[in-house]
Amino acid sequence: MEDQSSNNKQLILTESDVAHLIEQYELTCKENTCLKKQLAEALQKNRELSDKMEIATYRLEMLLSNLPTNKKQE
């Protein structure tokens, strides 16, 4: 009888452990989904900022090329 009681306690602990693992798995899946979304948003923002930097660089180069050079006449 004692063996059965011990087995029941062990089974209850095991079921509890499995339930806890499932809960942790589900939480991790939700967090992973959220992190994937945040990563996608950050990558998109990075692409947008890179594009803006490219445009700004081009504009600055055009402005600099149109500046008169200050050469001393001898």
Domain annotation covers residue 71: no
Q: What is the pTM of this model?
A: 0.64
**72 pLDDT more than 80:** no
Q: What share of the chain is helix, strand, coil (3-state, %, to 5)?
A: 90, 0, 10
The residue type at 47: R
Domain annotation covers residue 70: no
Domain annotation covers residue 73: no
74 vs 26, residue with greater confidence: 26
Q: Measure CA of the first residue to CA of the last residue in the chain; give whole Å.
A: 114
Domain annotation covers residue 72: no
**16 pLDDT more than 60:** yes
For the chain, the domain total comes to 1
Domain annotation covers residue 74: no
Domain annotation covers residue 8: yes
- Residue 39 — pLDDT band, cuts 50, 70, 90? very high
Domain residue limits at 47: 1-63
- pLDDT score, position 11: 76
